[in-house]
Amino acid sequence: MLNFFNGDTYDTPDDMQRLLLDRLVGSGRAHFVARYASVMIRARLLIVQGKNTPAARARRAYQIVRLIEGCGGRFHLSGLSHVAQAGNEGETLLIVANHMSSMEGGLFPGLLAPLTPVSFVIKQSLLKYPIFGPVIASFNPIVVGRRNPREDLQTVMTQGQALLEQGVSVVIFPQSTRAARFDPEQFNSLGVKLARRAGVRVMPVALKTDFWGNGRLVRDFGPLHRERPIFFAFGEPVAVDNNGRFAHQYTVDFIRSHTERWQKMEIGD
């Protein structure tokens, strides 16, 4: 079983230094973008060579974790033991998370390494990126167009159930779009419905990834806010009851409590 983190928590060491080339660009993101692109290019080569295995994808995501740390990012991870325990028991999970930036999609395969393989529900436009599209497609994602909600629902329920029954854990972001603040009213229960149909438990994940901002021209490559810490909190998986209300509320409460606490820490309350 792959696991890049020991114990229940991980915090970037205080004495970790920024990479030399990253320091030379000051507050810019040129070095980060170049290194990130090189990781994706190597991933594309692995796809061509037929070597882009689930384990390779998890290792690549962990490389991105270390790259972010080398560019000034400071991670604070908690609840990792829940991920490890599920992996040790061979359990397949439906992972439900809030969505803030491009970061979480790139890191989840590494953070969830004990659950390998992992797939995602993604928007169709992501597959059109020249280099990143094929890399994203290698996860065998559930693709939605976001034009026909009924059709998207059917796609997620059908393909998601098939993946979960094959032992592939699925990550879903129930918000309609990325958001700097968590709004429970915009957080639908699709993940819980899918978990109930497939007979798997739900793991809530709260995250704060605005270290990596959204760009104006290219939304997925915005500025780096090095002063902002990065948080991921993995909750204890919960079974879905008959109507799924408890599981949905449990998920919402978990994400809301963590994101509110992190926001208060940021403003110094």
Model confidence at 269, pLDDT cuts 50, 70, 90, reads low
Average pLDDT for residues 99-105, to the nearest whole number? 91
Closest to 227 (Cα-Cα) out of 208, 247, 201, 249: 208
State the total domains in the chain.
Answer: 1
- % of residues, the chain, pLDDT over 90: 72
Q: Would 98 be classed as within a structural domain?
A: yes
Taking only the tens place, the pLDDT of each residue in 153-170 is: 999 999 999 999 999 999
Q: Would 100 be classed as within a structural domain?
A: yes
26, pLDDT greater than 60 = yes
Taking only the tens place, the pLDDT of each residue in 180-232 is: 889 998 899 999 999 999 999 999 999 999 998 877 766 667 789 999 999 99
Average pLDDT for residues 120-128, to the nearest whole number? 89
The answer to whether the bond into 117 is cis (omega within 30° of 0) is yes
pLDDT at residue 268 in the model:
62
Taking only the tens place, the pLDDT of each residue in 34-71 is: 999 999 999 999 999 999 999 999 999 999 999 999 99
Model confidence at 146, pLDDT cuts 50, 70, 90, reads confident
CATH of the domain at 117: 3.40.1130
Q: Locate 159 and state its tokens.
A: 């393909």
Q: What is the mean pLDDT of the chain?
A: 92
pLDDT at residue 102 in the model:
87
DSSP letters spanning 229-249: -EEEEEPPPB---SS-HHHHH
Q: Would 4 be classed as within a structural domain?
A: no
Domain that holds residue 251: 10-267
Q: Quick check: 114 and 62 in contact, CB under 8 A? A: no
Q: Would 87 be classed as within a structural domain?
A: yes
Q: Would 199 be classed as within a structural domain?
A: yes
pLDDT at residue 239 in the model:
97
pLDDT at residue 8 in the model:
98
Q: Would 154 be classed as within a structural domain?
A: yes
Q: Would 3 be classed as within a structural domain?
A: no
Higher pLDDT: 146 or 253? It is: 253
Lowest mean pLDDT among 10-14, 88-92, 220-224: 220-224
Lowest mean pLDDT among 82-96, 139-153, 246-260: 139-153
pLDDT at residue 164 in the model:
98
Distance from C-alpha of 121 to C-alpha of 140, rounded to nearest angstrom: 10
121 DSSP β-pair partners: 142
Q: Would 5 be classed as within a structural domain?
A: no
